[in-house]
Amino acid sequence: MDIKLIRQNPDKFKEGCQKKNINIDIDKLLELDKKRREKLRNLEEIRAKKNLANKQIRKASVDEKEKIISKMREVDKKFELIKEEFNKIEKEFNSLLLKVPMPPAPDVPEGKTDKDNIEIKKWGQIPKFDFQPKDYLTLMKNLDLVDLERGAKIGGFRQYVLKNEAVLLEQAILKFSLDLLIKKGFIPMRPTVIVRGYALVGTGMFPFGREETYQVDKDLFLSGTTEVPLMAYHSNEIFKENELPKLYVGISSAFRKEAGSYGKDTKGLYRVHEFLQTEQIVICKNDLNESIKWHERLLKNSEEIMQALKIPYRVVNCCAGDLAQGQVKRYDIEAWVPSENRYRETHSDSYLLDFQTRRLNIRYREKSGEIKFAHSLNNTGIASPRILISLIENYQQKDGSILIPKVLQKYIDKKIIRKR
């Protein structure tokens, strides 16, 4: 976060903390900032003195040199003392600043949890079955499409093995979403999923999401979403204005510990430790309207995918309490799950203004020469196996077979999944 903005308008950030239900002491931050700048000024004054003395030393006679050097030794002692104080303050300041959340946009509803999210759109006909519909697990087991028991045997709790047409279906759906987004100008990317800590801090996953993330080495982690490596891809770079926007569609695995979700969705494919996804990323100019425009456009893209698959869904405007630290506004797409008689989240579309780009140091040079932090956005393309849940349930037939959505048929060369 830009400390200057917090200085200018602390109330806005305090309010943001309240709305997002994140407890950060802004007053303490500002106090640390004040102390920090005071010490910094002291340090710089001493440094200026030393620099001056060093210039004099070059031309000085031997006697004078001795004098200056002994004087500088004294100054050095003072310098070390202040430096120590400064470092301590700076460290505390930085760790606090890292936790300040982005205030939510004005059109974000207030609320504490996802129950307070506001439905803004519904699409598709909720299917009316003229038979007793089954849940996806029953359907998949009957058709030998999934093996949860052996999944757990191999990989532990919340692990699974897809089989037969489910494998093809997953590949097809990923490829379909990839193709659709490429047609819209997104550059396909297959990034690393093992990422350094800075990438997770930079995207805002850390510090709050640390327990949610698998650590594989001292400074290497398994990314929980394709967004992380894709955003870190351009860290520390300066674009030319005409190089923006950057549009990427990433495809990769994603890994989540689901540490805080004991008891939730313990069975099945809804909440799992590893999954595949395509993800849309936009890096655009530092302009609120530009961000908003892309936010809506990314939503449209995902809606298009859902509509092509003919899965009934709704869109919710997520409430402030449901937003992550860096998110300014988020839409979730939720797909209809007949067996649960409700919609469940499949996509997450957010804009973050300059939250991530500031942390990752992604900038661009305007035509005027001024350098600014870019804006960033992301949205799911498709996430599997979660999407299979509603797909399979909505497409089930009386005999337990599953129709394959028309747009996927060319990828699988099949119209229906039947018992072998």
Partner RNA sequence: GGAGGCGUGGCUGAGCGGUCGAAAGCGCUGGUCUUGAAAACCAGUAGGCCUUUACGGGCCUCAGAGGUUCGAAUCCUCUCGCCUCCGCCA
Active site residues: 256, 271, 345, 348, 386
Tabulate helix, strand, coil % of the chain (nearest 5).
45, 20, 30
User: φ and ψ at 380, to 5 degrees?
Assistant: -65, 145
Only one of the segments 65-73, 157-165, 320-328, 333-341 lies at the binding site for RNA (rule: CB under 7 A); that segment is 65-73
Q: How far is the CB of 26 from RNA (least distance, A)?
A: 16
Shortest distance, CB of residue 360 to RNA, whole angstroms?
Answer: 14
Q: Does 72 bind RNA (CB under 7 A)?
A: yes
Residue 40 touches RNA, criterion: CB under 7 A: yes
Rounded Cα–Cα distance for residues 36 and 89 (Å): 6
Distance in Å, CB of 369 to RNA, minimum: 7
* Contact of 376 with 349, CB cutoff 8 Å: no
| Residue 194 binds RNA, judged by CB under 7 A | no
Residue from 12, 41, 67, 91 touching RNA (CB under 7 A): that is 41
Which lies closer to RNA via its Cβ, residue 65 or residue 310?
65
> Among 44, 149, 287, 296, which residue interacts with RNA (rule: CB under 7 A)?
44
Residue window 304-343: x/- pattern of binding to RNA, with contact defined by CB under 7 A: ----------------------------------------
Which residues lie closer than 8 Å to 71 by C-beta, 6 or more apart? 53
Number of chain positions touching RNA (CB under 7 A)? 27
Distance CA 247, CA 282 (A): 5
- Half-sphere exposure (CA, 13 Å, Cβ side) for 276? 18
Q: Residue 368 interacts with RNA (CB under 7 A)?
A: no
Which C-beta is closer to RNA: that of 22 or that of 60? Answer: 60
Candidates 5, 48, 120, 216; binder of RNA (CB under 7 A) is 48
In the bound complex, what is the minimum distance in angstroms from residue 345's beta carbon to RNA?
34
Of 285 and 365, the one with the shorter C-beta distance to RNA is 365
For 197, half-sphere exposure in the C-beta direction (CA atoms, 13 angstrom radius) is 8
HSE, side-chain direction, 13 A CA sphere, residue 31:
4
Contact 79, 40 (CB under 8 A): no
Give me 288's structure tokens. 């609120």
**DSSP strand pairing (246-255 vs 187-189):** parallel
The contacts of residue 15 (CB under 8 Å, 6+ apart) are 103
Which residues bind to RNA, rule: CB under 7 A?
A: 3-4, 37, 40-41, 43-45, 47-48, 50-54, 57-58, 69, 72-73, 76, 218-219, 238, 363, 365, 371
